[in-house]
Structure 1
Amino acid sequence: MNMALFPDVVVNHETIPSAAIAAEAQNHSAPKDKPGIAWRKAAQALAIRALLLQEARARALEAEPEELAPGRVETEDEALIRALLDAALTIAPVTEEVIRTEWAKGPDRYRSSPLWDVSHILCACDPRDDAERAMASARAEAVLARLGGDAKGFALAARESDCGSKAAGGHLGQLGPGDTVPEFEAALRTLEEGKITPTPVLSRHGWHIIRLNATAPGQVLPYETVRPKIAQALEKAAWARASRDFIETLAKGAQITGASLAPI
């Protein structure tokens, strides 16, 4: 990225250099052919950060870093921003009526996890090795071609699997969300009972041919079970709205060049 094409950001006479914005841009997604989007997101994030830190210092707040996780402690700037938001934002408690209203919009949204009874054939490889990946792909395609979409011969074909499950005809048993790699789970969610994946699925283990033997959809959970989750989600949404409103108020009274706080 040519930083000369992108200006420094200035927030109330405080300059955020383009080098800092370029470093921050690595943390923001954008299409490969549109690096300017990542830059604008980074410039916006740093401008907001500067606004909040300026306000915290104007209020003479003190930073008291907290441990976020084992080995992960807030920076002083993070602690200062947290202290500011704690002092500036007033979030009304979420009432029982509001929680029930949200739940009533669609009780079937709150379900226990589904279960999938699954079998697979694995053609193992290191997907980072182009040659190895290509060879395993060709092998998986050949196995799939022999099956011809007929799931009945799956157990026989599974004898060629590189997974220990081949001794059980490729049967993996019942799986739930998070029990397997994301690519495998994503494929499961698109399959109908008794069907196999139309093309092999690549994961960090290699190429999978997957058969969904049966599925048990999650059951609708009672209100009392999901109430804490709904309340937490509503509280987070309220906090996010209050934060946006507070930042907009600060921005209206600030002088900002080189960045826009409008949604990107």
Structure 2
Amino acid sequence: MTAALFPDLVVNGETVPHTAIAAETQNQEAPAGKPGIAWRKAANAVAVRTLLLQEARARGLDPAPAEVGPGRHETEEEALIRGLLDLAVTVAPPTEAEVRAEWARDPQRFRAPPLWEVSHILVACDPRDAAAMATAEARAADLARRALEMPRGFARLAEAQSDCGSKAAGGALGQIGPGDTVPEFEAALRPLAEGEITAVPVPTRHGWHVIRMDAVAEGAVLPFEAVRARIAAAMEKAAWARAARDYVTRLVAAAEISGADLRPL
């Protein structure tokens, strides 16, 4: 793909370098073999960023970059956009009645974390070694097949074949909850029913796992007071996002933009 195929992006008379759009394409999803879609999405994103920066500078804003993580700070442009949105976008916190109505709409959404009793068989390998991963996957697939054929023999199979220290307990990991395991392992747990064994081995940074869900304890529904602050924060965040979109829409409507397709937003 060559940038010459696409029109210049001009925002209120300011021509944006093609290099800025090309850099932004890395952040945009597009079907394989259709780089033009990524370019158009990138042009739209860069147009909005340019418009916000123009507005921030027109207002004479000069906020200091904030720390966004250990040893990480905003860029000057990120600080400018944050400063503008902090100034231009305000929302009122939800009322007590609004928060309670949101909770009452479906209290089942607000539960204590679940607890799982899990056993597994680990076929350990270094995920950076493609050959070792393939060999381990084949072995894990065979173990999954054997476990599914004889579910009651899972503990004996784990004792004989697992590379995890839990083999001494028949592969049992005991009671675990969200955040207690690596994300890939937890993601595989969530859809499992009690007694179910993964038919396809699960890859993690430790190797391949055959997992059995021994028991599931769903978290209890939490009372309103326990989740009030969380619901209020989520509602305020959603309201702020809507207000920010509306603000950008108004800026776009008042701007002269070519090379991007921002109407309607």
Which digits, 9 at most, give the CA deviation of each residue in 1:164-217, with x for residues without a partner? Answer: 111111111112112222222222122111121112112222111101000100
| 1:8–1:174 distance in 2 versus 1, CA, 3 Å | farther
Alignment correspondent of 1:227: 228
How many residues end up aligned between the 2 structures?
264
Match status 1:180 vs 2:184 = no
Cα displacement (A) at 1:123: 0.9
Equivalent residues of 2:145, 2:199 under 8 A apart: no
SS in 1 for 2:68: strand
| 1:33–1:263 distance in 2 versus 1, CA, 3 Å | farther
Equivalent residues of 1:151, 1:211 under 8 A apart: no
Q: Which amino acid is the alignment partner of residue 50 of structure 1?
A: T
| 1:189–1:262 distance in 2 versus 1, CA, 3 Å | farther
Give unmatched runs, 5+ long, in structure 2: none
Alignment correspondent of 2:247: 246
Alignment correspondent of 1:2: 2
Q: Which amino acid is the alignment partner of residue 102 of structure 1?
A: E
Which digits, 9 at most, give the CA deviation of each residue in 1:113-149, with x for residues without a partner? Answer: 1111000001112233232122112211222233344
SS in 1 for 2:27: coil
2-structure distance, mates of 1:41, 1:14: 19
Q: What are the equivalent positions in structure 2 for 1:245-264 lying under 5 Å apart?
A: 245-261=246-262
Alignment correspondent of 1:20: 20
The percentage of counterpart residues that share the same residue type is 64
1-structure distance, mates of 2:111, 2:234: 16
Match status 1:113 vs 2:113 = yes
Equivalent residues of 1:113, 1:177 under 8 A apart: yes
1-structure distance, mates of 2:60, 2:145: 70
Alignment correspondent of 1:203: 204
SS in 2 for 1:26: helix
Cα displacement (A) at 1:163: 0.8
Alignment correspondent of 1:161: 162
Q: Which amino acid is the alignment partner of residue 40 of structure 1?
A: R
Which digits, 9 at most, give the CA deviation of each residue in 1:20-55, with x for residues without a partner? Answer: 111111122333333333222221121111111111
1-structure distance, mates of 2:86, 2:173: 49
SS in 2 for 1:211: strand
Q: What are the equivalent positions in structure 2 for 1:47-66 lying under 5 Å apart?
A: 47-66=47-66
Relative to structure 2, which stretch is displaced further, 191-200 or 114-123? Answer: 191-200
Give unmatched runs, 5+ long, in structure 1: none
Alignment correspondent of 2:38: 38
The TM-score normalised by the length of structure 1 is 0.93
1-structure distance, mates of 2:209, 2:115: 19
Relative to structure 2, which stretch is displaced further, 46-55 or 33-42? Answer: 33-42
Cα displacement (A) at 1:243: 0.7
Cα displacement (A) at 1:60: 1.9
Which digits, 9 at most, give the CA deviation of each residue in 1:72-126, with x for residues without a partner? Answer: 2222222222221122123122111111111111011011111110000011122
Which digits, 9 at most, give the CA deviation of each residue in 1:196-254, with x for residues without a partner? Answer: 11121122221111010001001111111111111111111111111111111111111
The TM-score normalised by the length of structure 2 is 0.93
2-structure distance, mates of 1:115, 1:41: 42
